[in-house]
Structure 1
Amino acid sequence: MRIEAVNVSMPSQEKDNKQIIDLIRQHSRDTFNGDLEQTLTRVNKLLNLSGAKSRRWLAAGEKPFDHIQKAVFATLTEAEVDKDEIDLLIYVGIGKGFLEPGQSYLVAHALSMGQVECFDLVDACMSWSRAMHIAEGFFLTKRYQRILIVNAEFGSIDGGYLFPHNYQLHNPQQLEWTFASYTIGNAATATLVSADPNNPWTWRFSSRPDLADLCSIHFFQLGLYSKENDRIGRNGALHFTSFGQELHTHALEPCVSLIREIYDLQPDIKCIFPHASSYREWDKFARKAGVQDKIHHIYPMYGNLVSASVPAGLALAWHNGLVNRGDRVAGWVGSAGMSFAGYSFTL
């Protein structure tokens, strides 16, 4: 499988850590029980420890679809492919505006993509990686020749699963399952892949469903579609709950094991693109795996881009000349679920 082109489009408004702190203060001053300033000092310390400096939010007048359109058109232009030459459009990730029909159909319709086949795939921050794995399998069946994979992770949109709800703190303890909200950035990506039997990808996955309660966004009353669990949905229906530190603690061993296996098989890997959930944690993972010099971090400047992390990192590196056609690179992801992946491919 060959990546013909990949592009990222991010909103224009930068939010630094101070601005995030100010927003938490604004939305929590009437609800917080305790010393708010002390808690905000802790949030600031945790953001700095994670390596966060800024992230992008939508400015007035910007919409997620503007960035979907920009990323898709840039990718098709770069690949010199007409939109009618796309056989399948897969929309991936958490950020979307529709439960029915699939967001993929709305994207295809808005872009006048005619008769393109469509479906959505949701696997938290693993979504793009899962879609790429599935795409390669489709190519082996020779059903499709070109597949476009699109996502638009805009969790910080007003009224979304993060803001302003998770910026309204009630007590210091809430940070345990809410802090990760303040690391989230926003981006849309578009990745065009085509069949190439001479360029197989190497994949390794593992899962820990017993840790599914560590990160969640639920729709309905708890217990209807799962067992009762007081860790799921702590911030309420349709809002992000994430025990971020526990997620990283449990991700360490499986993630290190997977990337070591990939790197042992293909030591010519030039660059590794991790899920951008924390600079500090992925740097620790990389040091333990012995691949610290290979990691390309985007978290400090752009935050956690959810399922867009790997394609955004790849697009930024590729367009800045840090990697080139013919280089072997790798993706490295730990995700809610929990699931873990390491994989490598040649550009």
Structure 2
Amino acid sequence: MKIAGLSGILPSRIVTNQDVLNLVEEHSRNTFEDDLPKTLKTIGKLLDKSGIETRHWLGAGEKPMELMEAAFDSALAQANISKADLDLLIYPNVTRGFIEPANSTFICKALGLNCRNFDVVDACNGWVTAMDVINSKMEAGEIRYAAIVNMEFGMSDGGPVMPKNFTLQSPSELAYKFPSFTIGEAVTVTILSNQAPGNFKFSYINRPDLSDLSTISLPDWKQFCNEEDMARISPTGGQYQFNSYAAALHEDGRNEAIKVFNMHKAPASDIHKVFIHTGSPNMWEHIGELIGIEKKLHHVGHKTGNIITASIPYGIFDAVSQGNAEKDQFCMGWAGSGGMVFSALSFSL
């Protein structure tokens, strides 16, 4: 399998860390029951520690579906194929408008596609899992061309973040609301061909015992989890609200991320670039230093914020666009996500 076309678009509104602090102050001034200026300073320090400087959100008049169509047209042109050549489309995102039917059906309708389509739900690991599914179907000889459409647009009012997670009552809420302040928005489209069988290799570590650390739950969530999950989920349970315990995620995830990367047994000298999840650039830099590959990391998170499932494909797109990644070079992708799932993939561009 090879990447035949890849496009990424960030929406136009650039949101700085100070803009985030202003929004928290605006939404919390009438609800906060402690020292708000002190807590805002804490948030500012945590944002600086994360390494995220800006993120992009939808600007006035911008529509996710229109940005998606523009990205799709660009990727299709790169692949030099027609819409009729696509055999499969996967929508693997955290943010979505529908549980029934698959959100992919609306994407195909907008694009004028009639190919097989379905959603993959695997938290921030969605793109990697979609790639793995497509790779397996291509190796089995079932499909020739496939597309992955990543659309992470979760910062509009009424979504899983805004304004709920920007409205604080006490400093203790930062334990699960802080990651919301890092989120950006983006769209990517990846088009894959069945050329070069065996090019992609995938590895995973699954830790379902940590599944309560990062959630967006639905109203009847208690019927679909375990008793021990309820304590962490209850603060935002059933409110379609993003709930992520960043400190615990990083503490539990550091060693697993290293283990899953090392499953590929790739010497640092052989690696051209490593494309990473954008949750915290400084965290990934630290983990990279522990295994001696920090100079191989291609960072976009400092400017995009956490763009969730679009992280790795946008990183590849950004590196290629800037001339920082060369065709046919050995590269890796590296992610950790709610669930928890840790993944690494290796491939030649």
| Pairwise same-fold verdict (TM > 0.5) | yes
Q: C-alpha distance in 2, partners of 1:233/1:144? A: 43
Q: 2:298: which partner in 1? A: 296
Measure, in 1, the Cα distance between the counterparts of 2:100 and 2:220: 20
The equivalent of 2:130 in structure 1 is 131
Cα distance in 1 for residues equivalent to 2:19 and 2:287 = 29
Distance 1:233 1:74 in 2: 43
User: Residues 215-235 of structure 1, C-alpha deviation per residue, up to 9 Å, x if partnerless?
Assistant: 000012342111231102522
- Which residue does 1:255 correspond to in 2? 257
Indicate how the Cα distance of structure 1 residues 118 and 266 shifts in structure 2: closer, same or farther if over 3 A, else same: farther
Letter aligned with residue 27 of structure 1: H
Q: Secondary structure at the match of 2:31?
A: coil
Is 103-112 or 261-270 further displaced after alignment?
261-270
Gaps of 5+ in 2: none
| Deviation, structure 1 residue 267 | 4.8
| 8 Å contact kept, 1:233–1:239 | no
Other-structure match for 1:181: 180
Is 1:148–2:155 an aligned residue pair? no
Structure 1 position 263, deviation (Å): 4.4
User: Distance in 1 between the 2:246 and 2:108 partners?
Assistant: 34
Q: 1:265, 1:339 → 2: CA distance? A: 23
- Change in Cα spacing, 1:254 to 1:86, as seen in structure 2 (3 Å) is same
Query: 1:236-294, CA deviations, whole angstroms, 9 ceiling, x for partnerless residues?
Result: 42000000111111111111122233243685210001111101110111011111110
> Which residue in the other structure is 2:329 paired with?
327
Give the deviation of 1:85 after TM superposition. 1.0
Distance 2:235 2:207 in 1: 21
> SS at 2:270's partner residue?
coil
Counterpart-to-counterpart distance in 1, 2:196 and 2:297: 28
Matches within 5 A, 1:217-256: 217-228=216-227, 229-236=230-237, 237-256=239-258
Give a deviation string over 1:125-145, Cα, whole Å, max 9, x none: 000000001110000111110
Aligned 1:1-347 pairs, distance under 5 A: 1-113=1-113, 115-228=114-227, 229-236=230-237, 237-264=239-266, 267-347=269-349
1:92·1:150 contact (CA, 8 Å) conserved in 2? Answer: yes
Provide the rounded CA distance (Å) in 1 between the counterparts of 2:193 and 2:44.
44
CA distance in 2, matches of 1:19, 1:233: 29
**SS in structure 2 at match of 1:60:** coil
Distance 1:328 1:43 in 2: 38
How far has the Cα of 1:320 moved from its partner?
Answer: 1.1
Please say if residues 95 and 151 of structure 1, whose CA atoms lie closer than 8 Å, have aligned partners that are also in contact: no
Which amino acid counterpart does residue 275 of structure 2 have in structure 1? F
Deviation at 1:35, TM superposition (A): 0.6
Corresponding letter in the other structure for 1:318: V
SS of residue matched to 2:343: strand
Judging changes above 3 Å, is the alpha-carbon distance between structure 1 residues 130 and 233 closer, same or farther for their aligned structure 2 residues? Answer: farther
CA distance in 1, matches of 2:91, 2:210: 26
The amino acid that maps onto 1:192 is I
> Contact conserved, 1:233 with 1:241, CA < 8 A, in 2?
no
In 1, distance between residues paired with 2:71 and 2:156? 18
- Matched residue SS, 1:8: strand
Q: Which region of structure 1 is more displaced relative to structure 2, 319-328 or 180-189? A: 319-328
Letter in 2 for 1:180: P
- In the aligned structure 1, how far is the partner of 2:132 from the partner of 2:90? 12
Whole-angstrom CA distance in 1 between matches of 2:39 and 2:268? 45
Asked if structure 1 preserves the Cα contact closer than 8 Å seen for 2:268 and 2:292, the reply is no
Taking a change above 3 Å as real, the CA distance of residues 300 and 266 of structure 1, as seen in their structure-2 partners, is closer
Partner SS, residue 231 of structure 1: helix
Structure 1 residues 316 and 263: CA distance shift in structure 2, 3 A: farther
* TM-score, length basis structure 1: 0.97
CA contact (8 A) 2:122 2:129 kept: yes
Q: Distance in 2 between matches of 1:284 and 1:262?
A: 20
SS in 2 for 1:235: coil
- Between the aligned partners of 1:72 and 1:216, the Cα distance in structure 2 is 29
Alpha-carbon deviation of 1:199?
4.5
Q: Does the CA contact (< 8 Å) of 2:139 and 2:197 recur in 1?
A: no
Moved more, 245-254 or 219-228: 219-228
Equivalents in 2 of 1:2, 1:280: separation in Å? 30
Matched residue pairs, number? Answer: 346
Contiguous gaps of at least 5 residues in structure 1: none
Is the CA contact 1:273–1:313 (under 8 Å) kept in the aligned structure 2?
Answer: yes
Supply the RMSD in Å over aligned alpha carbons.
Answer: 1.2
Q: 1:6-43: CA deviations, max 9, x gaps?
A: 11111000000000000000000111111111101100
AA partner of residue 292 (structure 1):
E
DSSP 3-state at the match of 1:179: helix
